[in-house]
Structure formats: structure tokens, C-alpha cells
Amino acid sequence: MATIARPANVPDHVRDDQILFYDRFDDERIVDDVQLDTHKLHGESPDIFYSPCNGGHWVVTRFDDMSKLLKDTDHFSNRELDIPPSNSPNVMIPLNLDPPEHLGYRMALMRHFDRKQIAAMEPKLRIWANRMIDKVIDQGECEFAEEVGAGFPVSVFMELMGLPLDKLEPFREVVLEYFSETTLERRIEMQDYIIGSMREYFLKRRTDPQDDLMTKLVNETVKGRPLTDHELESIGFLLFIAGLDTVANTMTFTFRYLAESPALQERLRTDPNSYVDFVEEALRRFSIVSQTRIVKKDFDYEGIAFRQGDMIACPLYLGGMDPERNPEPEKFDIDRKDRGHVAFSTGAHTCLGNFLARAEMRVMTEEWIRRIPSFRLKAGTRPEWRTGGVAALHNVHIEWPADK
């Protein structure tokens, strides 16, 4: 690695050969393909390095290291999710809680997001997928990221929660700003807005129950007692952030690639059994989240001196793109053997919504290919990307023959 002047904000326990400049919000390596371009780090950086950018933090690049460190709740905490640290007083339950404190809340939520519950939702998912397709199919084109990529899973989330659909656009605007490179003060303001909104709807459910998830959560118990108002709004904060952004982004990255891959479209048209593997390969290739941890207590690992208070970023897309885990990671291969990814993280904080996300991606792709079997990126357009804590694509314009 080239010798660089040691930045003043690098702590003494970081060796010079462990320093590499990497800006998680606007890195010069990323030109067109967020996941593929970030994969350049595998060839030019140590497996774990320290970036002086964004306040200074460690970056983990390998699948095996992420799998170990994300599961290590003795040394690493989920309490701080922002880089640079925001020290926000707001908490997302159970995501910001460490074991064993998080377990009761996680079990309460899992009752509503397990495989059986999500399987029962599939007819509704197909209805919503076709509603989205109905809106655009006669146009012969659409801006996929918002009209479909976000429109579908966000509408499903709003209906599942029992939130009014006329709030979809303003809520979506909030979450788009939340994950942009904004100030920490503004991010905390938006947290307060989200929590306040969730408080309002949960309070309504206490006096006016409905057939929705918010009502079910009002009636949930943890350790034999009902959830408090504070716990409910904190859980709502987490569900808001996850439900309004993450699936939308993975789906948009996936469909951008699919629009440029006529052979893959043909495979899906002719092989209906390939959709599950298609989704898993998409999750590997187009993971979007960069998981963070804060070091709870000093820990030496593979030559790295993690010290209390250090921030750590695990870009989960680097895990899926790690050639030591997935040979030829640049290749999108439905038939890949022994595929490994951490798109939903791993360990005690594995994403609660992973069954729903997989179902949404599969159902939308099945219905889209059934009704619009051939499509492409619109000539003269260029998608725009965002990185940070959650990567995203915008302005993804696709088109198809008008008779579809």
C-alpha cells in the first residue's frame, strides 16, 4: 500500500499500514455500479482497514470476518448505528438493543414475520404487484425506482401496518432524506418526526383497534407484560425505516441489472423454478446495507486492535462480493453452488423482515416477467446512486414494447 501522511484523527492504536481512505457516502471508486465498484477494495486494501473519513472508523471487507464480528455481541454493540456517531437519544427496538435485552422484543416481532405468516400474505402480495404493474404497463415505460421498486413494498408495508396510503409519498420523502448525507442534527430531527408519527397511530389503535400489525403490536406482550407506549413507538421507528426503504432499493438494483440482461429475462420466462435462486443471487450481488457496530470493550482480532468506542462498518455487499466466499463474484449466476451472502446480516440481529423481503422480490419478479416479459433500460438515461448506511438507485428508467 502506498505511504500516506498519517491523518490527525487516526487513533494511536491503528497502524500506518492499516489506514486507507474510503468515504462511505461518496467514494471515488464508485462510478456506476455500487456493489461492483466497492468490490475494488478486495484487491487494494487489507481485509480490515481504518478509514479516516466520516469521523474515522474500521471497515470489514471479508465475508468470514463479517460473519464472526457481527455475531460477537460480547465485544461489539448495536447501540450506535450512525457513522459518524450521532449519540442520538432515540432507540430502535430491538435493533439497538444487545442480547439478552433484545430477545423478548425480537420474539414478539418474529411472531408476525415468520415464514408461515409471510406465506399467508402471498395472495395480497400478488394483488399489490399487479396494481403497480397496472399503473405503468400501458405507458410502455416507467421510472422503476419510485413507481414500482418503492411503490410495491412500501404499499405492502403501509397496508400491513395500517398506515393511510395518502401518507406514502410524504413518509417516503422522509426516509429518502434520512439516508442521504445530511447533518446528524437533521437526522435526529427526522427520527423525532418518525417516532412522533408512530406514537400518533399507536395511540389511535389503543382506542380504535383494526386488523393490522399496529393493533397486534399494541396487544403484544414481552416477559408477560404489555408493551409500553415508548416501546411501541421505538419498534415503529425501526419498522418505518426498514419498511419504507430497504426492499425498494434491493429490488431497484436488481431490476436495473435485469433490464440489461435479455438472456436472464429469457431464463426467467422459460424456467419458473429459477425464481428462488434468482432472488438469492440478487441478494448476494445487490446487497445494500452497511452494518455498523461500536466496540464495547478492547478486543484484538487478526492483528487488529479494536478499542472501546471504535466504530466499525461491515458493508454487507462486500461480503457477497468476496471472491474468497463466492468465486467470480462479478458474475450473476442463478446456478451458483454454495452461495454465501449476508444481505440480512447474521447472528442475533439478522433482519426480522427477511422472509417478507424475499417473498416481495420473488412475487414482483414473477408477475412482472409474466406481464412484461421483455424490457430494457431507456436509451439516454442514467441511474443515480446513493451509498452510506443503505445504498440506493434513483432515476432508473426502463421501457418495453407498447403492446405489452
Q: What is the pLDDT of residues 141-179, one digit of tens each?
A: 999 999 999 999 999 999 999 999 999 999 999 999 998
Q: Average pLDDT, stretch 324-349?
A: 97
**Mean pLDDT in residue range 74-99:** 94
* Mean pLDDT to the nearest integer, 328-336: 97
Cβ atoms 397, 141 nearer than 8 A: yes
What's the pLDDT at 383? 94
Q: What is the mean pLDDT of the chain?
A: 95
Residue 250 clears pLDDT 60, i.e. is over it:
yes
Average pLDDT over residues 22-34: 95
Q: Which of 369, 371, 137, 145 is nearest to 274 (CA)?
A: 369
Q: Please, are residues 259 and 42 in contact by the beta-carbon 8 Å criterion?
A: no
pLDDT over 80 (residue 373): yes
3 has a pLDDT exceeding 70 = no
Buried b (16+ CB within 10 A) or exposed e, 274-286: bbeebbbbbbbbb
- Kindly provide the b/e burial profile for residues 176-200, where b requires at least 16 CB atoms within 10 angstroms of the residue's own CB: bebbeeeeeeebbebbeebbebbbe
**What is the pTM (predicted TM-score) of this model?**
0.94
pLDDT at 4: 60
Average pLDDT over residues 326-345: 97
Alpha helices, DSSP H, located in 162-183: 168-178
Mean pLDDT computed over 327-334:
97
**DSSP conformation class of 327:** S
Percent of the chain with pLDDT over 90: 94
The amino acid at 404: K
Torsional class of 45: left (φ above 0), alpha (ψ -120 to 50), beta (otherwise): beta
**How many beta carbons lie within 10 A of that of residue 266, not counting itself?**
13
* Contact call for residues 30 and 21 (beta carbons, < 8 A): no
What's residue 1's pLDDT?
A: 44
Say which residue, 402 or 240, is predicted with more confidence.
Answer: 240
Instruction: Give the pLDDT confidence of 52-68 residue by residue, as tens digits.
Output: 999 999 999 999 999 99
- Is the pLDDT reported for residue 100 higher than 60? yes
Write the Ramachandran bin of 32: left for phi over 0, alpha for psi from -120 to 50, otherwise beta.
Answer: alpha
pLDDT at 2 over 70: no
Instruction: Specify the CATH number for 16-85+95-399; select among 3.40.470.10, 3.40.50.12160, 3.40.630.30, 1.10.630.10.
Output: 1.10.630.10
Task: Look at residue 404 and tell me whether its pLDDT is greater than 70.
Answer: no
Find out whether 347 and 103 touch, Cβ atoms under 8 Å.
no
Average pLDDT over residues 134-140: 97
